[in-house]
Copies of this chain bind each other. A is one copy, B any other.
Amino acid sequence: MAHSRQRRLFLGMAMLAFLAIGPARAAQSAPERAALDLMPVPESVNLRDGRFRVDDSLSVGGQAAPGDRAFGAAARFMSRVAARTGIFLKQDFLAARGSAADGAVRYEFTRPGKLEPLEDESYSLIVNPGKVVLSAPTDIGVLRGFETLLQLLSSDQAGYYIPCVEIIDRPRFTWRGLLIDSGRHFQPVEAIKRNLDGMAALKMNVLHWHLTEDQGFRVESKVFPRLHELGSDGMYYTQAQIREIIEYAADRGIRVMPEFDVPGHSTSWFVAYPEFASAPGPYAIERRFGVAEPAFNPADERVYPFFDKFFGEMAALFPDPYLHIGGDEVEGRHWDANPAIQAFKKKRGLADNHALQAYFNTRLLKILTRHGKKMVGWDEIFQPGLPTDIVIQSWRGTEALVESARKGYQGILSNGYYIDLCQPAETHYLNDPIPSGSTLDEAQRKLVLGGEATMWSELVTPETIDSRIWPRTAAIAERLWSRPSVRDVGDMYRRLAVVSLRLEELGLTHLKNQGMMLRRLAAGPDIGPLEVLAQAVEPLKNYQRHSQGVTYTSLSPLTRFVDACAPESMAARDFRIKVESFISSGDRESAQELRKTLTAWKNNHTLLLPLIARSPALKEIEPLSLTLAEAAETGLTALAHIEKGEKPSPDWAEGGRGKLNEAAKPMAHAELAVVRAVGRLLEACAGPAGRGPVRDIM
């Protein structure tokens, strides 16, 4: 799924913009546990006096043996402590030389956890000055506890320590996933692995791996090798690589659920097997994005033995109990145009294409069941009469989730977690699978298994995927793990900044690739003015990048300035907060800071021009940079008026509004993320009520 999304491209921009940069919620008083930078926030945290010192005598022990999941987690814990602190630990943590059944840090668990929904992931952590004890029913709980322990690592003048604390923790939802779309843009093994590390750090437990799309068939099939040979441009995962990734994920307590999207989103299959399509071939791998028309032919009996063999092979390759069959966005035009399919519908009494797809799904369900898999699919697969062990993944809205729960079906939420849309973390964070006030009863609530962030990859390459996933997905991870009452947006952002830096330790490239991409654009090492502009800019939200006068295909370069910009600018957020604070308090200090920021933006254009002159690839950002400078100048004038207590001339104010409205428009596939806040300054000095609400601007 992903695409009918594009049909809604022209949803009111104003509303979207409001969602994107709505006023920051007033920070609630942060609980003490939050001050610990823990994310996701544990169920219960009891902070005490005292510190467990971390020095070269740190040791870790437990009952696991080398090769076991918990042993590996303990070794990674030690390695990460050493990397972060620079301490030369004395313990040989890679080998269990002598007895490693105990240590200053002891972990204990009752049994190996199973990689399936509803498994126990709880743990408790007791830190005393001389001892850390991490206990859990399963080794998966131990993994979760080690991540918490790493987040507790702190420093003071005397060195590194872990504060004494008692933590009892368990997840609210059992299904906390990230979908990675390797179909539209292939993502190499290392991109998957480092994101698995990021997921584990945030206690996420499902990689939903979208492996086939119109743009590519990304898995090696030994039974039907022409599928990957002809359908992937050579960019597919070998079965050895898939096993490697499954093992890597399992070591981190993460399930890998594959998705093979049928009957639509399937052009790449038909390059090898046009005979299974609803319209005559030949077919070529699709390069454009959007909802393509090719679809499997449900009326052709040859299709089902083919799927039986194919899913049989995949069921053996992927150990997860679930297998996702997609099922979304079938256009049906090729079905309508095929007389044999029309005849089949009539003969079987299938009233419409929805019924035809239901028939197809029922046949697939039998195949999956025979191979021991439970079925997952997008909203569209829902139909009465399906067994209740299937899972519906909702991309269309929480209503669909509620509806299926009422009918006794399990569901996971993805609507509101579409991280490819470049919306702020806050939007995702406040999107609850079971919102307060939900009318579902206790039993129905249990059917809501959790949710998944979805990294659709139309505009995402291995170079940019991390910045599109992180750190915002950490906010979703917290929503799915922590209690529903944990929703202090300000505190979330405070901890998100810490998490973002720590994710770098795992090899994630969300921060460091910006410099690389800007250096490439500048064809030189000095990128200061580009960084200043990038911090004031965000990529266009939702599907707007697809209506900027060029057609993105899977071969288009994603190396523009906009691709180097983070989906959410923290600098812009800080600026907005300072503007609000200044407007409400009028203090000189805030004014000083705002003036400094605005002056830097104003002066940046002159500094940037020589770089633009040297690099044709930068030409498109000249208007963006100029507009930032002009908006900053408007902001400086407004600031001066407010400070002097003067009201500007109505003409100036009208002119300023006009300019800011222009400044809010898309340029270079991006938008200035600071315009609205400048508008707040303008209205604060020029508006009828002096400090009234924002009007006119956007």
Instruction: Give residues in A with beta carbon < 8 Å to B.
Output: 66-67, 72, 79, 82-89, 92-95, 97, 155, 157, 159-160, 188-190, 233-234, 238, 240-241, 244, 284-285, 287, 463, 497, 501, 504-505, 507, 509, 511-513, 515-516, 519-521, 523-525, 550-553, 555-557, 559-560, 613-617
Contact = CB atoms under 8 A, between A and B. Distances in A.
A151 to B, nearest CB: 12
B550 A525 contact: no
Given A86-B557, A501-B524, A557-B83, A92 B287 contact: yes
Which 10 residue pairs across A and B have the least CB separation, nearest first? A190-B190, A240-B240, A82-B557, A512-B512, A94-B233, A86-B617, A83-B559, A512-B516, A159-B616, A504-B516
A419 B525 CA distance: 23
Contacts of A616: 85, 155, 159-160
Contact of A559 (B84, B189, B190, B501): B84
A92 B555 contact: yes
Q: Which residue of A85, A284, A552 has the most chain B CB atoms within 10 A of its CB atom? A: A85
A284 B160 contact: no
A95 B233 CA distance: 7
A357 to B, nearest CB: 30
9 contacts: A79-B557, A85-B617, A86-B559, A86-B560, A95-B285, A155-B523, A241-B244, A463-B507, A504-B519
B513 A501 contact: no
Contacts of A509: 512
A617 B84 contact: yes
A95 B556 contact: no
A62 to B, nearest CB: 17
Contacts of A615: 155
A446 B327 CA distance: 65
A516 B511 contact: yes
A520 B505 contact: yes
Contacts of A241: 240, 244
A234 B67 contact: yes
B520 A511 contact: no
Given A92-B287, A155-B523, 8 more contacts: A66-B233, A88-B553, A88-B557, A89-B555, A93-B555, A94-B285, A155-B614, A160-B616
Contacts of A552: 88
A108 B94 CA distance: 52
Contacts of A84: 520, 559, 617
A511 B515 contact: yes
Q: Which of A497, A614, A616 has the most CB of B within 10 A?
A: A616
A512 B511 CA distance: 9
Contacts of A189: 189-190
A145 to B, nearest CB: 22
A507 B509 CA distance: 11
A501 B519 contact: yes
Nearest to A78: B555
A95 B512 contact: no
Contacts of A614: 155
A490 B72 CA distance: 49
B556 A88 contact: yes
Contacts of A87: 557
A92 to B, nearest CB: 6
A247 B97 CA distance: 38
